[in-house]
């Protein structure tokens, strides 16, 4: 995937279910050139790709807050600017059974290493995200007020995309 405004970056996203080795991955996140995201915290494609868009924008205008594009994606997903909290809430947990792996390459394409995640690879699309995402946990992390009733995933997702765009600004 390439975002039209940032053609120098090649982006790969994979979604896995029934992940067996989350604890192992979690212990090695610092050395692996990927962003590992707990898929239960993602309700739509646009939620994640809006965060990637923001990451590339912050990078282009020299405003990265973390060391790598991959850690910046986790921060970009978060509604607050606390980096530790962003990792804890959106990053892989030792118990994660569903994972999203994001790889961003500047100048040149690479593939996500197939042997990395032991689990079933499924298509990264709305239907596969919606059916499992943890709406209560998402609403809590994004601090959505009870008065906001998201009757469908697209309303929920829209509120998250707004928060992602405006964090810290």
Residues of the shown chain interacting with another protein in the complex, contacts defined by CB under 8 A: 1, 3-5, 7, 45-46, 49-50, 52-53, 57, 61, 144-145, 147-149, 158-159, 161-163, 165-166, 169
Q: At what angle do helices 69-77 and 45-60 cross, to 10 degrees?
A: 130
Residue closer to another protein (CB basis): 28 or 125? 125
Helix (H) or strand (E) holding 102: strand 99-106
Residue closer to another protein (CB basis): 115 or 149? 149
Residue 106: Cβ-neighbour burial (10 angstroms; 0-12, 13-18, 19+)? exposed
**Closest approach of another protein to the CB of residue 94, in Å:** 30
Q: Choose among 93, 101, 113, 116: nearest CA to 26.
A: 93
Residue closer to another protein (CB basis): 68 or 165? 165
Residue closer to another protein (CB basis): 133 or 156? 156
**Closest approach of another protein to the CB of residue 28, in Å:** 28
> What is the Cα–Cα distance from 36 to 112, expressed in whole angstroms?
12
Count CB-CB contacts under 10 A for residue 139.
Answer: 18
**Closest approach of another protein to the CB of residue 30, in Å:** 27
Reading the block at residue 124, the tokens are: 């990264």
**Closest approach of another protein to the CB of residue 156, in Å:** 11
């Amino acid at each position: 995937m390439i975002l039209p405004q940032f053609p120098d970056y090649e982006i790969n996203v994979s979604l896995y279910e029934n992940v067996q080795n989350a604890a192992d991955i979690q212990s090695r996140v610092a050395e692996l050139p990927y962003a590992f995201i707990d898929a239960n915290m993602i309700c739509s494609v646009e939620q994640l790709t809006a965060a990637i868009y923001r990451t590339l924008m912050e990078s282009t205008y020299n405003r990265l807050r973390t060391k790598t594009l991959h850690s910046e994606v986790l921060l970009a997903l978060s509604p607050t600017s606390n980096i530790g909290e962003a990792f804890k809430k959106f990053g892989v947990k030792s118990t994660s059974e569903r994972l999203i792996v994001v790889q961003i390459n500047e100048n040149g394409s690479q593939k996500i290493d197939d042997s990395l995640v032991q689990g079933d690879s499924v298509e990264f699309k709305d239907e596969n995200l919606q059916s499992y995402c943890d709406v209560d946990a998402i609403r809590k992390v994004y601090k959505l007020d009870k008065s906001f009733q998201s009757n469908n995933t697209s309303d929920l997702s829209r509120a998250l995309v707004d928060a992602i765009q405006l964090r810290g600004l």
